[in-house]
Amino acid sequence: MPAPFNSNANGSIEITTQVSRIDLDRVHKWLQRKSYWAGEMPRDVFDRAVRGSLCFAALEGGTTVGFARVISDRATFAYLSDVFVDEQRRGMGIGKCMLAAIVVHPQLQHLRLWLLATADAHGLYARHGFTSLAAPQRYMERRDAEVYQRMAHAQGPGPGAAPSAA
C-alpha cells in the first residue's frame, strides 16, 4: 500500500486509500443527500461500488472531509467517480489535493484512457490533464436515471418510518 499523500496549503490534509480509515457512513450520506448524481443511492449499492473501486479519502485530523473513487482495470482504463468535498471544507484545496494523489497513484499509471463526468468542476479536472472528449460521437451510454428511486420504492419505508394507514 502506498504511503499516505499529504498536501494542501497548511499541510493538514492526508489522502488515504485505506477503506478502513474512511467514514463510509458520512460519505454515503453526502452522496445520497447532497450530490446531484447519486440521489437516493441505496447503502448496499454504495457498499458494492466501494468494494469494486480504488477509493481515496481526504482526512483532516482523522475526519473524512473528501472522497473520490476510481473504477479501473488498472492497466488501460479508469473512470473517476463520486468526487465530493464536505460543503464546509470547500475552497480550501481539498479537491486539488485528492486529484493530485489520484493521478500519481502507482496502480493508476500508464493508463490509455481516463473518463469522468462533471457538471461544475471542469477547471479542477483540467488542471490534472482532463479535456473534453476528443471524439464524443464515439461514446454512448446506457442510463437508468430512476433506478435508485425504484429500488427504494420496492424496498418500502426504511426503519423508523411511520406505518401507512390502510
Tens digits of residue pLDDT in 27-70: 998 888 777 777 778 889 999 999 999 999 999 999 999 999 99
Grid coordinates in use for 121?
468542476
Query: Which SS3 state, helix, strand or coil, does residue 18 take?
Result: coil
pLDDT at 7: 54
Q: What is the mean pLDDT of the chain?
A: 86
DSSP assignment letter at 127: T
How far apart are the C-alpha atoms of 160 and 153, rounded to whole Å? 16
Per-residue pLDDT of 104-139, as tens digits, reads: 999 999 999 999 999 888 988 999 999 999 999 999
CATH superfamily of 5-155: Gcn5-related N-acetyltransferase (GNAT) (3.40.630.30)
Measure the CA–CA gap between 114 and 22, rounded to whole angstroms.
Answer: 24
Question: With bands split at pLDDT 50, 70 and 90, how would you rate the model's confidence at 147?
Answer: confident
Give the pLDDT score at 20. Answer: 97
Per DSSP, the three-state class of 99 is helix
Q: How far is the CA of 53 from the CAs of 35, 64, 69, 71, 81, in angstroms? A: 19, 17, 6, 5, 9
Span 76-97, average pLDDT? 93
